[in-house]
Amino acid sequence: MNTYGYLQQFSNLDFTEIFSSTTDADILKIIAKKELNYHDFLQLLSPKAEDFLEEMAQKAKLNSLKYFGKAILLYSPLYIADFCENQCQYCGYSVMNKFQRHKLNFEQIETEARAIHQTGIRHIVLLTGDSRQTTPISYIKKAVQILKNYFDSITIEIYALTKIEYAELIAAGVDGLTIYQEVYDEKIYDGVHLRGPKKDYKFRMEAPFRGAEAGMHSLNIGALLGLNDWRKELFLTGQHLRFLFRKFPAVEYKISFPRLRPYHGSKVKTIEISDKNLVQGILAMRLYFPQIGINISTRESEHFRDNVMPLGVTQISAGVKTSVGGYSLKENEENQFEIADNRTVAEMKKAISNAGFQPIFKNWF
């Protein structure tokens, strides 16, 4: 069974019925369990579970200490191109947005690498827009070979690839793949991806599987929260991860919780998820998957990130620039989205230490 076929079995799940029948006793019983099933996870995402966030948080802290200790990995993203062939209604890189696009040459990529390296960061996430013509695999491969001279771990967050293409980048030095389905509801997905290669829902969904088959050490998935009901999206994200975990148990898995952020010309209608509900989602995921990494990016505010650190966060970005050449080429100001936490790497390191955790700069494996 492929990923799409596996997730289809949950398409007729009656969320309303399950939520309405969930009791206080159910939630307390689930929190006390050592291992949760998908039904337990869904109940932890229910409105009823909102009354038990403190109990969930206490269990989440214990789970995190057991599997990760007090280590929190610091990383930075590196945008090397913003050309895109997709018309996505929620993204600043949409082909319909008119601005001066940029693609770094290899000398500029090395300059950016030096600038990030000087901050102490040793874990990088490499990003491009979705344009095979402008940023082909050969270009990305050469960029990775340059970055390997500066960083111990390179994750890619680019357009969906074939298994063979993922294997080629792994051979060049890539060890991690971040790719979000954006929204699991197929109808909504079709409505927000108007044209371009990303419109292929199934090809996008199967990308993490192909990456794992090719030999990726780590996979990071997630849904872009705000395009659909958050409870449904996080539930399906959890089932996507469960499927991958069963197929590839040796892979290191991570979950991200990106909320929609404003961008220049933004028009998409956002379904709001409150801070309280996002915390609930993070806690439910930690209880469902005690052994996975949880990533909180600079899409979230300084206040929010500082307060969720003890709840199971294992990876956090710092000193972030979301424009191409943002670390050394200051003239490029077009961002994929607006960030909410502008702290430097040094400031983020201090915040982590002040919260009683250990900032880690190298992803040891």
- The model's pLDDT over 24-41, given as tens digits with 9 standing for 90+, comes to 999 999 999 999 999 999
Give the bridge partners for 127, in sequence order: 79, 157
**Residue 268 clears pLDDT 80, i.e. is over it:** no
How much is the pLDDT for 299? 87
DSSP 3-state assignment of 229?
A: coil
Question: Which runs of E-coded beta strand occur in the chain?
Answer: 71-79, 87-88, 123-127, 153-157, 176-178, 193-195, 218-221, 252-256, 293-296, 315-317, 358-360
Give the bridge partners for 71, in sequence order: 358
C-alpha 186 chain-centroid distance: 19
Nearest to residue 3, comparing CAs of 164, 198, 213?
A: 213
DSSP letter, residue 73: E
Q: Which domains, and CATH codes, for the chain? A: 71-285+292-360 (3.20.20.70)
Question: Which residue reads 């947005």 in tokens?
Answer: 97
The tokens of 139 are what?
């270009």
Backbone angles phi, psi at 255, to 5 degrees: -120, 135
Rounded Cα gap, residues 303 and 166, in angstroms: 37
Give the bridge partners for 178, in sequence order: 220
C-alpha 292 chain-centroid distance: 13
Rounded Cα gap, residues 280 and 265, in angstroms: 31
pLDDT digits (tens, 9 = 90+) for 94-113: 888 888 899 999 999 999 99
Rounded Cα gap, residues 154 and 363, in angstroms: 10
Question: How would residue 336 be classed by pLDDT, with cut points 50, 70 and 90?
Answer: low
Work out the angle between the directed axes of helices 275-288 and 230-247 (0-180°, nearest 10): 20
Rounded Cα gap, residues 46 and 147, in angstroms: 43
C-alpha triplet 335, 341, 347: angle, nearest 5°: 125
The amino acid sitting at 173 is G
Burial class (CB in 10 A: 0-12, 13-18, 19+), 210: buried
Is 264 or 152 the better-scoring residue by pLDDT? 152
pLDDT digits (tens, 9 = 90+) for 42-94: 999 999 999 999 999 999 999 999 999 999 999 999 999 999 999 988 888 88
Residues 81/130, Cβ–Cβ less than 8 Å? no
**pTM of the complete model:** 0.94
Residues 308/282, Cβ–Cβ less than 8 Å? yes
